[in-house]
Structure 1
């Protein structure tokens, strides 16, 4: 039977025999095959060709595979496999790389959505099959040395028809006749320079020892002898950064260049003695949640900027707004033409969901584009009232081209203010949207605004994040200064920055998009005619609404693109601005006295209507997204609780880490400010900019307080020094002692009490300390600290419903960051010490599923190759795994704090086998709510696994007891009350 027949009808591309490629390797092979009686090339390859070292196609390199994996080479010698290709088809494809230009591991790491479960569900045996099947994709890559954009550009420069329509990866592996020189496949390797620098390589290629310069660089036996391009020096890098040398000697990195590409460039290290990546590091960090670690590599960006691109752009370019405005107008012309052919329809029977007031003067194309955007944005009933302000172009006949419009015509330029007021009495909906005709709506803008407005009776108006045509902010809510002037918050900034992307009450929002309650607008009399013809009418309108007791809410999920000043333009605008500014200032003089003075550095103080809300600055290692585990779920719950209690929360990450935008959107309340562009290096600038803004400082993890202590000691005047709270998350010292005992490490110098005192030494800076359990709270008190609170976990039981008999296998959940971490140790103990006992007890043991982040630097290949282990990697929603598995295992041998994974598994109704350590930490007894065994007794742990897995009666009893324990210990309402108690208590302590 063919050793790749197991893939069925859908044979992966890497398993197919490429006849042309095959005979290209050995041109005289056709006669030999016929002479030996083979009629099928695949049969010949299985029987003869693979063993002879021939590759089946350009996607698999037989010689490289054998050299890369010596254990495979030995298995071939012993006759276990006939070739590397047979090994890859039978088992290696799951975790091993098939070619020097593709890494299975890197592909999975770069594109985290392609885990085992996703690939299996979509019919792909591995990531390589998925990569090769996406023949139209020009973005996927499995190696830093293959950039599909650069590759495509290089081959296009050859003007060779042989490459037309081919996947750029195939071009990279098998250049056709017609190309001149070796292809340039990425910015990270220069083949022409390499061949000129090392003439012996060209000779080796001529002798067919290597396929190309890049092949030589990636596969030669002395990788530190060769530089990949003139902008990187192996010797200079090792000399400049001696801390890297031990990792090179230990074989962690193939050479210094690998370290630089994977880590050094992001850390700001120089590739040689002259090159400074500083500006490109800053740019990469500023991309925040939109940063793609591969596509926006700082060194790649620097290379692009320094040298003429190979048929590609240099990357991000600051756009000229004059040009983008012209493009906006040109797009409007195209949109109008298409809309005319299809006819927009706003016919509305019955009461509309919203009424839209749109005032226009000429600019037919802009208006049609705005109407098309409106119709596409919201499919519910909309009443559209058009005020034609003396138009002389096709706008005068717009009702002939769009169905269902209500048009009010004026023979003169009535202007926006008076025109909108004329339309207001005709509005039929309870909700009215003032809309400019020079806008385009981003997805769901109308529905999101309507939802926000309906969410609370005290909201009078909802405004949008307004983005100008060159993709810079016009406003993220607006500020009114003490002198009556106004300022669009974060004007000219990137719309994706954290400061622009949280919901808050503001002074006012522009009427380019302003949704209001119709009754409120009528009670205010619409816009005040004193501000006619224009300027300050919407500012005055919002302030009058605030005075009436209603709120003006800025919602970043409501976003529009605006061609600023595109709808109306007054030739004497400067004069009208001056006149109406005086009118506005005199009318609201008393209210304006409470506003900050007009300066951009005061913007953070004026960006919101606080309405009695206290502000909290939460500092964590990273933005606490829930999939990270390791205490971040609990920190996330703290932030959620603060938001629910009415606090205005900002979250500051100490580490500069890219974030998945989906995590940020789904894991946090929308009124929380996530400071994606900030980190420890900029903390001083941050607190100086926000001097006097925060009421409470909440610091997560003791080590963060220790790192911040020198800064806050010197710059404490910028922070609320009387209300500083340390959330320890874990007391680490007991974990260190337990780790040393279990692993047989050298004895730790000093007593437990002394070292706990050292660990908490920086806590004198805080008025309050939070611990996760009563045991750890006692440690803090014993160390001499008085104001200590306990805050555990928040979980709502949500038991999965699949019955016992339909569930299978064991489940382990935990992030694997490094070998010296509790999760890695526990998994190693489980697989290497517990499972042998399990196998001795039962004939056909269940599988072990491992879910969670797995650092690519960790070597877990041996585990992944075990037939009873299945690694699924990070999983965004674990509920399906909890529902399908029968038993959760928590074999932790050393740890501190409170094990969230035990509480989480119990909340989903999957019974748990845990070590006695974790049972003590959650306060549950063996055989009540869980089964436990001593961490030093793998046989006892295996017995508990067998008992819980096969005994349905025990399984059901433990499941129900665990659900009851979670209800008692992790009540979200109790958690929120404890957070409120801590924050309230901080005020009382500050007044002592």
Structure 2
């Protein structure tokens, strides 16, 4: 019998009803050569006359013994992971796990320890049912083996073709075999010598567990990874040096409990499923949360280069052969390189004159005092010219230079340059230059700096934003890439401290705007009139040091603000214009002068201790200091209540609050995306999670007047920590923002899905009992917030009367496209888990309503579903359905609202108030919604919105059809909904409600 004949025979024998496809999938082929090699007993049986051939042996004997027909299907693995199949085999329904897989399991079960159908379909969203059908493929595994893997797709997080090929570098290529095939063939033991993913290290594993090598030699397992996934993981083995099973379970008791309850196969399973995204620590020497906060790491994870920060960590460690955090830059070396860079620009300085000429009045005057250091000066001036192309007045005081600086006019035109034949000192030279200033703003700038693009304009914009701002400084980064200061603190003893010195410039504490005691004179922008009214720098501090501290204190004592703006970025060669020893001596002398002159101011400063740095880093705010806790950093694009949370943060800022955002769970987005979504005065702790809250509260002792906790489950989770650390929150008031009451939503979900009744036919828990359980923790807070009056009534029903209502803040901004210019339907909503109301409603609509609509309106009508998608949710079912385009998270929704004709909200169970309907109406896109949502909104059916029933498929399809075809109805609903938005979601009313909540909490 030929190989092809054997393939057809096994197909017909196991799938008499036509099987899963019209062609033979790779995983369905019987591999006689492999079979004989893998099972020596089969070869002996054939010699003894058991079976007419290898295929006959498998059919008659092999499958009963648990043999596999080929390397693509693992009978032992399949039965071990599918206990229901074992029961069916024992009952005689199937003769083997393979028979079950061929007849029905292929649709969703995993056939092999190194391939997951669910994983592959989830991570290959373009592989829809239509694609499989058009290409005559049985399932995702068929697609993978037929060539999908050659596109560097992965069927398991433990096998990444790109990683495997990187490590083998083609050295072990077998002609005609894919990377996956080569790994399974394991020629010359290649699979045990090289990585196949960032999640398992075979070399380390075999060294750590020598017993595995013996099992491989005995052919009881095929390799290290095979052992781990089939035996080792269950036995508590660790997969690689970067993860310790023992450490992880001991550190996180909830994980150990979850493994014991069967929720996870191991601690590593939990870590890869959730822990790596929550910022949990995988091993004693792996500070993953700190590493994950790095901008490049976050960007790489968000862009999909790495699945999670842990993979990034392992890859980086592999490439450097040491922990990523071990890499540091010697500052002496970096300073030398900075100076060399300046020297390397001298040729260009001779060829290209820097032109500071202007035809308009200057926007800013820049004062630069020089004493030799010509190469540094030219680099600083080139940086200034490139940074600010506008009208700029450059004033240079050459204070007794003896190098090429004396011929500065040959290199710079259009500047006011005054050469002194003596060293007049920095301070006196600055005051001399102040008399020459003609702009309304003056910038004191060192000659040993490089400015980031836009630094001067950003500082000017900040200075002009409030007449009470007297001076603006920026984020100063030393040549080694670490912070010199992010604003500076003046202690009670007169000492100065550059906040966050030696920290990463991208750490969250350094990246929000705040009022400070002073900013360094390396870059200090101030009002010219103010500087002159204060007579510039106090000459008592000549020649230099403490003059800018004294100047800023005098501004503050005259009721002006000194503002630190992290978007103003300066690279500084610290002590580049003087020797550090001489500088230190001057500092000590001038500190004594400063203490004498500013004694009254200093009495109200914090004592000199690093433990006070967080309290001292900002001048007192006019509003309360608020710690805002949410599931995750509330980006607007996430939906699911995060838009409302983002609006609350914005409202708190408008009311003068100093806000710190603290996420309970770690998620990874690029820093530009994070910071672009919040007012620049908000401290966004993107690198923290619930794991850090204990130490965070101790670190920030006394730093918050109020804690606003979003979502009841977060309060329930964090309350023990808040109790334990209450000594660090003296006098702090607490607000619970319920976001949505969950109990009725869950009960409605159970009703809809038929999960409501127990064995006695009744609910296991009535509404009042469930409400009391949900809000058991609410006693902890002085104020409870509900999103609707209905929800507020439920909270009161649970026994809590201190409830305020805070809805949504939405401003109407109707999109311009006409009725005729639009087509198609739109659904917007995030899918956070497999029980998400959005996922349920989308599946229901696609299955029940879309076929009716396509019959009525034509097959060209399609539904576009937009919103963030959790990686943990399998959306493969959605991709199977016709007429739906699944779009992930987008930065801007307006283009979708401007091109679609009807918005659908077929929600069957939900709580709170549907922001997506408010948003759609604000964009001028009429809505068809379920009666549930219409009731939550309090809108009028037929006037503001159309009803799709409870929902009901026929009613929903009829309402969509009416709205889709009737332009007059469409326009009327659109206009009425816009009026409702103006009434219900007025931002001014929202701000007033937030203010009332704050007052209620304080009261």
Give the TM-score of the pair, scaled to structure 2.
0.77
* Counterpart selection for 2:947 from 932, 940, 952: 932
- Cα deviation for residue 915 of structure 1 reads 0.3
Counterpart residue number, 1:660? 670
Indicate whether 1:716 and 2:723 are aligned. Answer: no
CA distance in 2 between partners of 1:683 and 1:484 (Å)? 33
**Partner residue in 1 for 2:290:** 283
SS at structure 1 position matched to 2:847 = helix
Q: Which residue of 1 aligns with 2:995?
A: 980
Partner of 1:523: 533
Structure 1 residues 226 and 572, CA, compared in 2 at 3 Å: closer, same or farther?
A: closer
- Contact 1:388/1:410 (8 A) holds in 2: yes
Match of residue 669 from structure 1: 679
RMSD over equivalenced CA pairs, Å: 4.8
Deviation, structure 1 residue 522: 1.3
Shift of 1:315: 3.0
How big is the shift at 1:735? Answer: 1.0
Q: Any unmatched runs of 5+ in structure 2?
A: 1-22, 30-69, 79-109, 129-142, 174-178
CA distance in 2: counterparts of 1:478 and 1:432, whole angstroms:
20
1:584 equivalenced with 2:598 (yes/no) = no
- How far 1:443 sits from its partner (Å)? 2.3
Alignment map for 1:864-875 (pairs within 5 Å): 864-875=879-890
Residues of 1 paired with 2:24 and 2:779: CA distance?
A: 75
* C-alpha contact (below 8 Å) 1:353/1:381 kept by paired residues: yes
Unaligned runs of at least 5 residues, structure 1: 1-46, 54-62, 71-95, 117-127, 133-137, 163-167, 205-209
Q: Secondary structure at the match of 1:426?
A: coil
Deviation larger for 670-679 or 901-910: 670-679
Structure 1 position 715, deviation (Å): 3.0
Distance 1:226 1:897, change over 3 A: closer
CA distance in 1, matches of 2:919, 2:694: 37
In structure 2, the CA distance between the partners of 1:674 and 1:843, relative to structure 1 (3 Å rule), is closer
Matched, 1:298 2:310: yes
CA contact (8 A) 1:224 1:256 kept: no
Partner of 1:830: 845
Equivalent in the alignment of 2:644: 634
Summarize the Cα distance change of 1:104–1:352 in structure 2 as closer, same or farther, 3 Å threshold: farther
- Residues 793 and 304 of structure 1: CA distance in aligned 2, closer, same or farther (over 3 Å): closer
Question: Residue 350 in 1 paired to residue 365 in 2?
Answer: no
* Distance 1:312-1:675 versus aligned 2 partners, 3 A rule: same
User: Who is 1:593 aligned against?
Assistant: 603
Alpha-carbon distance in structure 1 between the residues aligned to 2:883 and 2:260:
35
Q: Does 1:968 align with 2:987?
A: no
Is 2:766 the counterpart of 1:751? Answer: yes
2: distance between equivalents of 1:398 and 1:493?
37
C-alpha displacement of 1:373: 1.2
Structure 1 counterpart of 2:378, from 368, 377, 385: 368
Q: For 1:266-301, what per-residue CA distance to the aligned partner results, in whole angstroms no more than 9, with x for missing partners?
A: 568898xxxx25533243354379534428743663
C-alpha change, 1:882 and 1:529, in structure 2 (3 Å) is same
Determine the C-alpha separation between the residues in 2 that align with 1:522 and 1:839.
75
Aligned match of 2:745:
735
Matched, 1:942 2:952: no
| Distance in 1, Cα, partners of 2:183 & 2:574 | 46
Distance 1:544 1:918 in 2: 58
Q: Is residue 324 of structure 2 the alignment partner of residue 315 of structure 1? A: yes
Q: How far did residue 471 of structure 1 move?
A: 1.7
Indicate yes or no: 2:562 matched with 1:552.
yes
Aligned counterparts of 2:701 and 2:236: Cα–Cα separation in 1: 52
SS across alignment from 2:820: helix
Change (3 A) 1:151 1:949: same
Residue 867 to residue 959, structure 1, CA distance change in 2 (3 Å): same
Aligned equivalent of 1:776:
791
- How many residues of Structure 1 are paired with residues of Structure 2 in the alignment? 873
Contact 2:623/2:655 (<8 A) preserved: no
CA displacement at 1:879 relative to structure 2: 0.6
**Aligned: 1:484 with 2:494:** yes
Distance between the aligned counterparts of 2:936 and 2:246, measured in 1?
A: 50
1:211-239 residue CA offsets vs partner (Å, 9 max, x unmatched): xx899999999999999976599999999
For residues 267 and 661 of structure 2, what CA distance do their matches in structure 1 show? Answer: 36
Task: Please say if residues 615 and 693 of structure 1, whose CA atoms lie closer than 8 Å, have aligned partners that are also in contact.
Answer: yes
Of 819, 833, 845, the residue aligned with 1:804 is 819
Taking structure 1 as reference, are residues 938 and 430 closer, same or farther at Cα in structure 2, changes over 3 Å only?
Answer: same
Instruction: Answer yes or no: is the 8 Å Cα contact 2:122–2:875 preserved in 1.
Output: no
Distance 2:640 2:877 in 1: 25
Which residue, out of 468, 485, 491, partners 2:478?
A: 468
**Is the Cα–Cα contact under 8 Å of residues 622 and 657 in structure 1 kept in the other structure?**
yes
Hey, what does 1:501 align to over in structure 2? Answer: 511
Query: Structure 1 194/517 Cα, relative in aligned 2: closer, same or farther at 3 Å?
Result: closer
Checking the alignment, whether the CA contact within 8 Å between 1:614 and 1:647 is kept in structure 2 is yes
Distance across 2 between alignment mates of 1:703 and 1:899: 20
How far did residue 343 of structure 1 move?
3.0
**TM superposition score normalised by structure 1:** 0.78
TM-aligned CA distance change 1:735 to 1:233, over 3 Å: closer
Please state how far the C-alpha of 1:458 moved relative to its aligned partner.
1.5
Q: CA deviation at 1:801?
A: 0.8
Q: Distance in 2 between matches of 1:839 and 1:64?
A: 44
Alpha-carbon distance in 1 for matches of 2:551, 2:159: 58
Taking the TM superposition and a 5 Å limit, the aligned residue runs for 1:18-33 are none
1:847 aligns with 2:862: yes
Contact (CA 8 Å) 1:850, 1:870: kept in 2 or not? yes
Please give the alpha-carbon distance, in whole angstroms, between the structure 1 residues aligned to 2:415 and 2:228. Answer: 66
Q: Which residue of 2 aligns with 1:511?
A: 521
Structure 1 CA distance for aligned equivalents of residues 917 and 717 of structure 2: 31
Shift of residue 445 of structure 1? 0.8
Shift of 1:786: 3.0
Deviations along 1:749-784, one digit per CA (max 9) or x if unpaired, are 333123222222222222222111111122223333
Check 1:666–1:723 CA distance in 2 against 1; reply closer, same or farther (3 A cut).
same
- Cα distance in 1 for partners of 2:159, 2:27 equals 29
The match for 1:902 is 917
Structure-2 change in CA distance of 1:917 and 1:199 (3 Å): same
Out of 438, 452, 456, which is 1:428 matched to? 438
Contact 1:887 1:911 in 2 (8 A): yes
Distance apart, 1:264 and its partner CA: 5.1
* CA deviation after TM superposition for structure 1 residue 613, in Å: 3.2
Task: Tell me the residue number matched to 1:419.
Answer: 429
Q: How many angstroms apart in 2 are the aligned matches of 1:242 and 1:605?
A: 38
Indicate the residue corresponding to 1:378 in structure 2: 388
* Distance change (3 Å), C-alpha of 1:232 and 1:939: same
8 Å CA contact 2:280–2:288 kept in 1: the answer is: no
Counterpart of 2:136 in structure 1 is none
CA distance in 1: counterparts of 2:881 and 2:482, whole angstroms: 52
2:163–2:198 Cα contact (<8 Å) kept: no
Contact 2:707/2:735 (CA < 8 Å) preserved in 1?
yes
Instruction: Report the Cα offset of residue 580 of structure 1.
Output: 1.3
CA distance in 2, matches of 1:108, 1:437: 55
After TM superposition, list the pairs within 5 Å mapping 1:122-137 onto structure 2.
none
Q: In 1, Cα distance between the equivalents of 2:248 and 2:472?
A: 57
